[in-house]
A and B are shown apart, each in its own frame.
Chain A
Amino acid sequence: MKKEISFTLNGSEVTVTIDEHLCLIDILRGPLGQTGTNEGCREGECGACTVIVDGQAVNSCLYPAFEVEGKNVITIEGLQEPNNKLSVFQQAFVDHGAIQCGFCTPGMIMSAKALLDTNQNPTEDEIRDALLGNLCRCTGYVQIVEAVKQAAVQLKNKK
C-alpha cells in the first residue's frame, strides 16, 4: 500500500508518497534523490547509511520510512556549506587523510556530528564509542578519530 508522509529533510519540508514496507534509506536514495547516504550491509552492522533523526544517529536501513512522519531528518547533504566551501567535518577528514575509498565517510560524519551536537568536548573513548557502529575497511580508524577531534576543536572555536 502507498501512503503519503511529510517530514523535515535538511531544513526543508518534504512530502513524499512511499510504499509502506520501505526503509528511510530507500526513500532518501530513491524518490528524494539524496544519494550521499550510502547503503552497505542493509542490516545495521556497518553504519554507512547513518543519518540523524530528531538529533539521534540511526541506521537509515533499519528505520521504517513511515516512522519519520513529522520528524526532523539530517543527512550528509545537510552539512553542505554555501559557495562549495568544505564544512568543518569535510575539511577535518581531508586534513587527516581520514578518507580513502570514501564509502563509509558520510555515515562516519553523521555519527560524529550527532556526538558533537550533544558533547562539545568528547574524550577519545567517547569518540570511539560514537563511531563503534561505523565500519571503515580502508583507514584503520586512527585518522578518523583524529579528524573528529579536530572538528570538535574547530566547532567549539566557531561558537
Chain B
Amino acid sequence: MKRFNYYKPRSLDEAWELKEKIPDALFIAGGTDILVGIKNGELYPPALISLRSIPELNSIKINGGAHIGALTTISDLIHHPALYNIYPVLVEAAKRLGSVQIRNVATIGGNLCNCSPCADMALPLLVLDAKVRLQTAKKNREIPIDEFFKGPGETNLTPNEILTGIVLESPRKSAKAIFLKKGRVRMDLAIASLAALMEMEGEKCQKARLAAGSVAPVPLRLFKVEAQLEGTTITDKLVAEAQQLAAESVAPITDIRATKEYRRQIVSVLVKRALKNILGWSQA
C-alpha cells in the first residue's frame, strides 16, 4: 500500500492550515471509503488529514430543527435518544447502511462527501430538504443538499472546503416519510433505493419529496414526480403514473450489481410501495 502521512488536527483552523501546506492531502472522516480507495490503488494522496479529533464536528444539536455534525457516526445517529422521534426516515436509512463495523466508524458527512450514487444517507436528507454547511477558513456557506452532488465522487466542495454539518428544519406534523432499499443481501450496496416524504391534508398531498439512489450519476431528487403529486388527491391511477414518471426520470447504468433495465423496474416498484405505505394503503 502506498505510504502517506496522517495528521490529526484538533481544530478546523489547524485542518485548513495543513491543507494549505499540502494541497494534495485529502480530508478523511471515518475512512471506510478512502482507505479502500488507497488500498485498491485508486487514490494516492501524500497525506490524510483526519477530522475525527475536532470536537465541534462531533455533535448532534436539536433545537426546533437539528444540526448534525459531519463527523457523527452512523451508529451515533441510530442510538441518539431523540433523533428517531423527529426524523425517523433518517434513522431508518442509517440502520440499512453497511454492517455494524462500518456504521461504528462511517460518518454522515463522509457518506455525503464520498458522493456515491448509492449513498444511503443522501436520500433521507434530500427528502427532508436538508442543507449542508460548507466552510473554509474564510468563508462559510449553506446550500441545499440537492445542489451538493455533482457527479459520481464529485461534490460542490471547493478544494479547501470542509463539510462541517447538516442542518435540518423541524418537519411538519403532517409529514410522513419512508426509506426503502433493495440490495442483493442486506449489507450490500443498493441496487436501487428510495426515500419519499409526503405532507397530506386530508386526501390532498400538500408536499411531496422523492429521492432515488443507485439509478443516476448522483443521488437524485425526482422533481417531476414531486410536481405531479403535489396539490392532488392521490389515487391508484396517479400512483401508477408516478411509477411511470419515476422510471423515466432516472438514468441507471448496468454494472455487477444489476442491469439498468432491472434498476428502472425496481425504482418503479419502490415508488409504489413508498407511496402506498405513506398513505396507509399497505405495508411496505
Which A residues fall within an 8 A CB radius of B?
Answer: 1, 19-21, 23, 42-44, 47, 50, 56-59, 62-64, 66-67, 69, 111, 114-115, 129-130, 132-134
Contacts and interface: CB of A to CB of B under 8 A. Distances in A.
B101 A59 contact: yes
B95 to A, nearest CB: 8
Given A43-B36, A62-B32, A20 B99 contact: no
Contact of A21 (B2, B75, B102): B2
Interface of B: 1-6, 8, 28, 31-32, 35-36, 39-40, 48, 50, 52, 75, 98-102, 104-105, 186-187
B5 A1 contact: yes
- Ordered nearest first, which 9 A-B pairs have the shortest CB separation? A133-B99, A20-B6, A56-B104, A133-B101, A43-B36, A59-B101, A21-B3, A132-B99, A21-B4
29 contacts: A20-B3, A20-B4, A20-B5, A21-B1, A21-B3, A21-B5, A42-B39, A43-B39, A43-B40, A44-B36, A50-B101, A56-B75, A57-B101, A58-B104, A63-B31, A64-B28, A64-B31, A64-B48, A64-B50, A66-B6, A66-B50, A67-B8, A69-B8, A129-B100, A132-B100, A133-B98, A133-B99, A133-B101, A133-B102
Nearest to A47: B101
B4 to A, nearest CB: 5
A126 to B, nearest CB: 10
A111 B52 contact: no
Contact of A57 (B6, B52, B104, B187): B104
B35 A64 contact: yes
A59 to B, nearest CB: 5
Contact of B31 (A19, A56, A62): A62
A33 to B, nearest CB: 21
Contact of A64 (B6, B75, B99, B187): B6
Contacts of B35: 23, 62, 64
A37 to B, nearest CB: 13
Contacts of A59: 32, 101-102, 105
A19 B1 CA distance: 12
From A44, A47, A59, A67, name the one whose CB has the most chain B CB atoms within 10 angstroms: A44
